């Protein structure tokens, strides 16, 4: 596709449930990033993939958060035992060497 695609666009889940958020990057972009944005704040870095491996996961807030990119393209962000504080917009971006990031429109996660 022409841009970064994120699904679903909106997700409402109950506290304690497990959720998966999907990111489909621009074809050929080897770098993929996940960010989280709370209301009124700028995006906050979570994790960075170069190819299939997580090159930097220092932004993941705790071990309930995990992300994979098994074939070096699509990535899934997984959140276990969701809490109300996890409610935010989760943004995915991809890039190639020397280019700026291209972000998706995000998944708005609401934990009730």
CA dihedral (16, 58, 11, 7) positive or negative:
negative
Question: Residue 48 or 65: which CB sits closer to other proteins?
Answer: 48
CB of 90 vs other proteins, minimal distance in Å: 10
The encoded tokens of residue 9 equal: 């666009």
Question: Residue 79 or 93: which CB sits closer to other proteins?
Answer: 93
Question: Residue 49 or 111: which CB sits closer to other proteins?
Answer: 49
CB of 30 vs other proteins, minimal distance in Å: 11
Binding stretches for other proteins (CB under 8 A): 4, 31, 33, 35, 40-45, 48, 50, 55-56, 91, 93, 95, 98-106
Alpha helices in the chain (DSSP H): none
Q: Cβ distance 46 to 36 under 8 Å?
A: yes
Q: Cβ distance 106 to 10 under 8 Å?
A: no
The encoded tokens of residue 37 equal: 């944005």
CB of 71 vs other proteins, minimal distance in Å: 20
């Amino acid at each position: 596709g022409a841009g970064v695609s994120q699904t679903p666009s909106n997700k409402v889940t109950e506290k304690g449930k497990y959720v998966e958020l999907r990111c489909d990057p621009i074809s050929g972009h080897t770098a993929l990033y996940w960010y989280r944005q709370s209301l009124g704040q700028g995006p906050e870095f979570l994790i960075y993939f170069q190819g299939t491996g997580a090159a930097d996961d220092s932004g993941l807030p705790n071990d309930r958060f995990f992300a994979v990119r098994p074939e070096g393209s699509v990535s899934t962000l997984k959140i276990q035992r969701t809490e109300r504080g996890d409610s935010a917009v989760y943004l995915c971006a991809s890039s190639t060497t020397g280019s700026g990031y291209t972000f998706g429109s995000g998944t708005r996660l609401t934990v009730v």
